Structure 1
Amino acid sequence: MIKDLPIASIRFKSIRQEQKLTQQTFAECLGISGTTADIERGKTKISGEIVTKLFQLYRINPLWLFGESNEKYLHPSDNTLPKVVTLNSEEQENVMMVPVKASAGYAHNLQDVEWYENLPAFDLPLPEYRNATHRAFQVKGDSMHPVLHQGEWVIARATERLSDIKPDNLYVVVLPDTVVVKKMIVTNEHTQLISINKEYPPIECPTSEIQEVWQVVSKITTNFEVPEYTYDKLAQEMKAGFEAIKSRL
């Protein structure tokens, strides 16, 4: 019966269920061979490596996990800088590209240097992109219409601290299981992630779950539209201008 299980096994299982992961997928995230079934049944103890991974991915308080605290999450430091950067042959930072397909993996591999090496990267030899860490993330969905569209890329600058966040800016927010582009309103306990498209309600998440934050500074798009401007429209505007001048004479 569940009441006979160690509290660590019960709480370990609850973390997996909250993340909506299968036992096999959860095991892969934690670097466990096979599945997490034996841990959840209380047959295998939770190792120190797993405790560390739970903190790195989800900010889980080890004392809470083992029933010694009611505080589930450890409050993060205000620092939200990236854990890994890559350099080109000239010792300049590359702009790594995180496509939509890699976004979930990105959140799970924040400190895995080898994983980052598989991402495409490029260099921007412009002064605006020097002396700071930048990363490119691909946009998914239409929650940020009309500013951002599906498939476009945003180039974002690493934000050093949560206290630097301003509600009018756009940010790439890295959470334990996903990467999103939103506006942000941050408090000590919870953060609101706000879409520009009003059809999408704000999302609230624990501030402690925020792994990295990147401020959007530019975008790359192939959807370049030039407003239609005909000679007839120009003639109409000129005529209206002349009429306005005549009325003042």
Structure 2
Amino acid sequence: MNLLHKGLYIKRLLKQLDIKEFRLNDKNDPLYVGFGKNTLVNLLKLEEFEKESDKAKAKAILDTIGGKEEDYQFVFPSETRSNAKDIGITVDSDGDSDIFEISPGYYLLTTELVPVHAQAGYLAGYQDQEFIETLPKFRTTVDRFARGKYRHFEASGDSMDNGNIREAIPDGAILMCREIKREHWNSKLHTHRWPNYVFVHRTEGIVVKQIAHQDVKNGVLVLRSLNENKEKYPDFEVNLDDMLEIYNVVKRIIE
């Protein structure tokens, strides 16, 4: 195995995992790594990854396909998996997430994922770092970012599914979210660019909704669902005093 050069090693690893190379270049595929076909073809021809940009791309592939310790050790013999994330241009996100550039204008974002089965525990443990460390990691590519704390949440149910492929949030969708800091809650929450929110509420739990109305003076939000069945999903009020966290939904990942 050690007779293989680095690019060929990754190429054979993809074959062993039955992962077609084109999936890594498809922007609509969960395995998209942030760069095109020609870049991937040239990368897999390299005997050694000497440029930092090539190292970052190789790491993005291994991260995306779930590379094992021995894969990282072969491709990055002077690195360990624990510090391999430092390859590339790391961006300070002011939070727990890891953002670094994998190609010009494309970034790989790694954050904790709060799946449906962990959401009840998240209400009690969202400030407990030991609990947060038990959550799975989720990676996605972005072409822009803002500083702050990012987190992924799994959507549940059909309250935000109106059948419109451009805006619906169906059951099982993964939502990339950026936290809105508490000091901004008393101001008007902007809904024109990011209309969907994840609210972590003391009694309602974790809900994905839009804001129908905001009473800034009294700290009250009226939340609405996208689903047009208002008998099943009526608008309802929540008080900001009962809110634990608020996130903008900045990206939907739908398989």
Greater helix content: 1
Compare CA radii of gyration and give the structure with the larger one: 1
Give the TM-score normalised by structure 2.
Answer: 0.48
Give the TM-score normalised by structure 1.
Answer: 0.50
